[in-house]
Amino acid sequence: MEKTALLIIDVQNDYFPGGKMTLEGAELAGKNIQQVLEYFRKNKLPVIHIRHISTNEGATFFLQGTSGAEIHSLVSPLAGEKVIEKHFPNSFRETDLLKYLQSENIKDLVITGMMTDVCVESTTRASFDFGFNNMIIGDATATRDRELNGQTVKASEVQKSFLAGISALGGLYAKIVNTKDFLKEK
């Protein structure tokens, strides 16, 4: 695990109840991320917090200077933990994430966060393209209902579909595990 880092993507207040973009299962996912985070901290392994700040015109959540854009208290960064601000779904785009991982000789990423089908998925695929080995803690991610051609796709179906797709072909982009199994393996 010495070349492994934990990536916590966009666990911010706007995704939790009372926020401007509440996700289904955000609280459970947040508690699972907290458990994984405690493991990384206890073992003095690198932790990277990704924080999205919306800069696109018409954005309604993750707005600069709002409490909704703050990292949720379940996973508040500690001194010495890397925090990267991003403006796009892919955490590598126009950030120093790749440079930081390379400078720390990180080869493997344990990925958690929100939204499964947007920022988690795009970051994981980019990470694979940069040569990293990825593991997603599936129950430490969350999303929301989506609409497709006038039909609602339930969050649970979106969640399963995206995790299944990103782990296709023998876990090409990422191996998917749950929190309990991840912690049991360690």
31 is catalytic: no
**14, 117, 119, 139: which one is catalytic?**
119
14 is catalytic: no
Length of the chain: 186
The 10 Å CB-count burial string (b at 16+, else e) for 61-95 is bbeeebebbebbebbeeeeebbebebeebbbbeeb
Residue in 5, 19, 10, 8 with CA at minimum distance from that of residue 115: 10
**14, 86, 117, 139: which one is catalytic?**
86
**10, 14, 117, 139: which one is catalytic?**
10
119 is catalytic: yes
Can you tell me the distance from the alpha carbon of 181 to that of 48, in angstroms, rounded to the nearest whole number? 22
**Active site residue ranges:** 10, 86, 119
